[in-house]
């Protein structure tokens, strides 16, 4: 039996692309919808700010040397920076700040391009594509704030390929944590910057994971089961007989 997808409830719309954002803006004006997209409501940055508060607390009321953040809408960078500024005003931390680094997918990198060209605003990225759906944001509303934070902190911005993202995701998943592809971009960025010497030995680095592995479980099966030839870290399923002996033998071989 098949059925059509339900109509969105009044005031709700899904998706992450510019098309959905334009739809919500239009309906907000014409039908009174409440726009809760990135930085269009008053509490998003305040919620993201908790990352900065918890980081400072967990570092003993200090800050790390580097924070690398997978950047779609970029609210996390803004919220973390806001938290540090407020903590300094309250006397919890000093004036030192981490280098804030934005990492985006090579197929959708408006912030990186604007940073490298010295722009204060990021022109929309045309024909955006990346398998990391959380990074498929061709135009960030708060582009000027993100770019300002990166520059104030003496940070930088870089792109990583989808292959690098999936490789990093396999590393994270194998650790038992698990993350969605967009999150793994931060780990891919750390690996690249360490190789290039931008991140130096002894520095305290935070790579933020922004989404759970179950946000995009299909990415797991695509990488480990469907990709040919098998990637270096692919963990192919093993078919065995449904007996205790077969299970034990398989575990001994693993």
pLDDT recorded at residue 12: 41
- Confidence (pTM): 0.83
**CB within 8 A of 208, min separation 6: which ones?**
51, 67, 68, 69, 70, 76, 183, 186
* Positive or negative: CA dihedral 180, 181, 185, 187: positive
- Hey, which bits of 61-155 come out as E strands? 66-70, 99-105
pLDDT recorded at residue 41: 75
What does each C-alpha distance from 116 to 43, 101, 200 come to in angstroms?
30, 13, 21
Token pair of 3 as six digits: 């059925």
Per-residue burial over 167-186, b = 16 or more CB atoms within 10 Å of its CB, e = otherwise: bbbbebbeeeebbbbbbbbb
Query: Rounded distance, CA 112 to CA 210, Å?
Result: 19
- The CA R_g of the chain, rounded to the nearest whole Å, is 21
- For residue 14, give the DSSP letter: -
Tens place of pLDDT for every residue, the chain, 254 residues?
333 333 334 444 444 455 677 787 788 788 888 877 777 777 888 999 999 999 999 999 999 999 999 999 889 999 999 999 999 999 999 999 999 999 999 999 999 999 999 999 999 999 999 999 999 999 988 999 999 999 999 999 999 999 999 999 999 999 988 899 999 999 999 999 999 999 999 999 999 999 999 988 888 888 888 888 888 888 888 889 999 999 999 889 87
Task: Name the one residue in this structure whose structure tokens are 């918890």.
Answer: 54
Pairing label, strands 66-70, 99-105:
parallel
Closest C-alpha among 92, 83, 88 to residue 49: 83
- For residue 226, give the DSSP letter: I
Number of CB atoms found within 10 A of residue 43's CB = 9
* Positive or negative: CA dihedral 88, 49, 60, 150: negative
Given a contact cutoff of 8 angstroms between Cβ atoms, the answer to whether 144 and 120 are in contact is yes
pLDDT recorded at residue 15: 44
For residue 67, report the phi and psi dihedrals to the nearest 5 degrees.
-125, 125
Domains of the chain in sequence order:
7-37 (no CATH), 44-216 (3.40.50.1100)
Query: Up-side HSE of residue 93: CA atoms within 13 Å toward CB?
Result: 25
Token pair of 100 as six digits: 């804030």
Q: Is 68 helix (H, G, I), strand (E, B) or coil?
A: strand
pLDDT recorded at residue 65: 98
Pairing label, strands 205-207, 156-160:
unpaired
- Hey, which bits of the chain come out as E strands? 66-70, 99-105, 156-160, 205-207
């Amino acid at each position: 039996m098949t059925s059509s997808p339900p109509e969105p409830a009044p005031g709700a719309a899904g998706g992450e692309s510019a098309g959905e954002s334009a739809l919500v803006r239009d309906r907000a004006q014409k039908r009174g919808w409440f726009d809760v997209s990135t930085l269009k409501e008053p509490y998003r940055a305040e919620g993201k700010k908790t990352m900065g508060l918890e980081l400072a607390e967990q570092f003993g009321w200090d800050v790390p040397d580097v924070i690398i953040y997978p950047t779609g809408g970029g609210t996390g960078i803004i919220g973390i920076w806001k938290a540090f500024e407020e903590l300094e005003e309250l006397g919890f931390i000093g004036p030192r700040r981490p280098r804030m680094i934005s990492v985006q997918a090579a197929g959708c990198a408006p912030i990186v391009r604007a940073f490298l060209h010295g722009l204060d605003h990021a022109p929309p990225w045309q024909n955006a594509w990346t398998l990391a759906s959380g990074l498929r944001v061709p135009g960030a509303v708060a582009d000027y704030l993100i770019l300002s934070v990166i520059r104030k902190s003496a940070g930088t911005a870089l792109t990583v390929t989808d292959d690098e993202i999936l490789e990093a995701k396999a590393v994270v998943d194998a650790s038992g944590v698990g993350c969605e592809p967009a999150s793994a971009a931060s780990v891919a960025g750390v690996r690249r910057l360490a190789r290039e010497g931008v991140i130096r030995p002894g520095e305290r680095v935070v790579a933020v994971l922004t989404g759970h592995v179950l946000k995009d479980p299909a990415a797991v099966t695509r990488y480990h089961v469907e990709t040919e030839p098998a990637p270096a870290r692919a963990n192919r399923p093993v078919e065995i007989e449904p007996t205790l002996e077969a299970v034990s033998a398989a575990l001994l071989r693993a």
